[in-house]
Amino acid sequence: MVKIGNITLEDFPLLLAPMEDVSDPPFRALCKENGADVVYTEFISSEGLIRDAAKSVQKLDIYEKERPVGIQIFGSNIDSMLRSVEIVEATKPDIIDINFGCPVKKVVCKGAGAGILKDIPLMVELTKAMVEHTHLPVTVKTRLGWDHDSIKIVEVAERLQDVGCAAISIHGRTRAQMYKGDADWKPIAAVKNNPRMHIPVFGNGDVNTPERAVEMRDEYGLDGAMIGRASIGNPWFFNQVKHFFKTGEHMPTPTILQRVEAARRHLQMSIDWKGETLGVLETRRHYTNYFKGIPHFKEYRTRLVTSNASEDVFATLADVEREWGDYVMA
């Protein structure tokens, strides 16, 4: 078993990564139904929280069916981060996660996200302060380092553990790489193999097939996998991995009818949560993957990602169901 604080998980748990404009309550619900062991919110600005910014506060919405659920916050000012912890605690998450890995320029330029990888002492100090400020387990998501020449993730992980970090998820790229090139899991394995490490070490980056998840577990010896882009428009991925773990065989590919139903539910939940305009807009990124692999689908895909009214999207989904319902996915 794997433990994050007082939370007990099954061996090699699968975690839904925090992804901006992706890991919202509707998508988290779908992933949870389909095998995700832990889900994380989109990353939330500590400065936005303490200023009561509407978009940041809305991201605090969590629901019982999601548990265990972690709320991820980012920032570089210790006072702001501690004040945001108090706001986050009021929503009663199971975990508070610190984002030390986001490579986006507007975050990094403020010394937050992966930007803090240039200041490891501050990274450690901030983590220590947050651990001491809450009764909840504090976890960290980070990258290998700022660039190839500054990778010290074994030392960094140990220092974070020593100040009370309850688990660490490591993306196998540096900030300089952004999302280019292949993720390197060897340094993550080096963290896990450090004899002083006793907290869970989760791998992130390029876990995009069940076989890759097996490789991360069996060849690299990590404690679990954090799944990001592979789950977008594919909430079934978690159960696909677990089925492969148990049987060595792939689950049957979701049928067109299953895909339509998931897309329909996703859209409706998004509208219920965000309202018509944002619900329609922010569900679009999932449609390409929901219907990936269907030949000659361009017309339908275009309608799905350009319609501004939900009734038009639902009508297109009904057309897909009617026209493609009998199509057998490869």
Query: Catalytic residues, which ones?
Result: 102
Rounded-to-integer distance, Cα 157 and Cα 169, Å: 10
Task: Verify cis geometry, omega within 30 degrees of 0, for the bond prior to 26.
Answer: no
Helix or strand (DSSP H, E) at 80: helix 78-89
Nearest to 9 by CA among 217, 288, 200, 203: 200
For Cα atoms 266, 272, 275, give the angle at the middle one, nearest 5 degrees. 105
The 10 Å Cβ neighbour count of residue 58 is 15
* Rg of the chain in Å (alpha carbons): 20
Task: Give the alpha-carbon dihedral of 179, 185, 188, 193, to 10 degrees.
Answer: 180
DSSP 24: S
SS3 readout for 152-221: CHHHHHHHHHHCCCCEEEEECCCCCCCCCCCCCCHHHHHHHHCCCCCCCEEEECCCCCHHHHHHHHHCCC
Type of residue found at 100: F
> Could you give phi then psi for residue 261, rounded to 5 degrees?
-65, -40
Query: Residue 135 corresponds to which tokens in the numbers above?
Result: 């009764």
Strand partners, 8: 3
Rounded-to-integer distance, Cα 57 and Cα 51, Å: 9
